[in-house]
Structure 1
Amino acid sequence: MEGNTGGSSGDRRPSPPGQMTDMEPAERVFAQEFSAARHTVESGDASYVVTPGGAWCRRIFIVGALTGRRGSSDIMQARIADPTGTFQVTADWQSPDAVETLGYIEPPAFVAVTGRAALTGSGPRAYATVDAEAVNVVDRTVRDLWVQKTAGATLDRLEALEKGGGDERTATVIGLYGTTDEDIRNIAGMVRTALESVCPGATAEIAPIAGRDLLLAALGSGEIPVDDAVALGVRSGLSAQEARRALEELLAAGECYQPTLGTIKPI
């Protein structure tokens, strides 16, 4: 395995145990920690963005407030803020549904994003980004739950770092960043700040979205253009692709019809 340490190519690092497969869960990490990442570690065909707090990110799951977005039908760039900072997110032709979905979401709005972690540049000028694979509108409760679970995952990593690198991944992080007790205390302070920002007792789990029922409830009773119906689905938590599929299901089930070409109306 070869580690990219921001300009020192060929620096050998120990391989992380258990090379990640596509089935490995997406990592949870706060924006401040993710933005501080300056190193990647490669193993086989897997490239990990490694953060100072010990997160190994190939894919990442974030929830926060969409504060701005720009772009076109080919590529969208977005800023998503959590209580600690801001993620830089890009959606491109590789994930057309994410591009379309972002185009329908008007900031500010809480969103959940799953994507690939990437590091651009090297050394002090390196910056971490998220290449979005999926985007969904969520509510504040989901955001608060994400903050709580991400805080727990971060504290678990800090505990491993505090013990001095008992496993290979943790030892690699310490070697890359020269982690000190003060660094660990600073990241723990970030976690406290994040937890203080959310409502206590937010323990609801994220339930699967029943797209057809959710969209039908959002449509109301009037006749509207199909694109406006898709936009309502996106604002309700569906991706653009899921909203279009839900429309097809509603039409097939006879719960909606098209009074004129390009419009839809519930029965």
Structure 2
Amino acid sequence: MPETDLTLLREAAEEAGKIALRYWKNAPEAWDKGDGAGPVSEADLAVNAMLEDALRTARPDYGWLSEESVDDPARLGADYCFIIDPIDGTRAYLQGDGGFAHALAVTKAGRVVAGVVHMPALGMTYSAVLDGPAMLNGMQITTNTRAEIAGAEVLTSKLSDNPSQWKRGVPGYQRHFRSSLAWRLCLVAEGQFDATISMRPAWEWDTAAASLIAERAGLYTTDREGRPLRFNAPMPQANGLIVANPALHAAFLDELAVLPG
């Protein structure tokens, strides 16, 4: 059941946080994965090993998809699947910034049914199940209702300032950045920002847990062409990302250029 899985995810995320904080600001060994995949550290791998052991022991029939594990195609035949980012925001983590997260989700038939985004350095845990509210530290959160892009506070990267990404030039939003994509979705879910968009392909482990939290807070979560996000796909990646309340989401969808996925 999603509620039982949520408890499992929350407890595992808290243990992950203990491991991450032991390495944090203690110069963990780190290296670049290459091919534009960014950095990884010994802390990422330690957290991943603990999570895989704990979660797969508890649910041996669930599939497994993690940024730091070799992909096992057997997950595609599983009724349920864990989708995990052991440390989302590794760059921030290695810089001593507390804006990193553990993102843990359970999916069924392509939909997220339970999700947790835990931020141990900041003392924050976002969570949701499919038929429940979005929560932050046990309190319900909801998004805001801004409908216009002009003046909107948007979490995104510098690539969004490239006119080629837009049909009619770059709209007049205010751009902000956070290293953890999962946290970006959660910040919009709690109304701290108006939207988050990504022009780059979005990996499932970055978005799975937080997408459910965002949806339960009242947001639309789609790729940049408006297609709903589906999870545990053979290629676990979406063509960009738009996360906003329904009116603002429609405004972004109308302005974004359609590019090959």
Q: Same fold (TM over 0.5)?
A: no
Largest Rg, 1 or 2? 1
TM-score by length of 1: 0.21
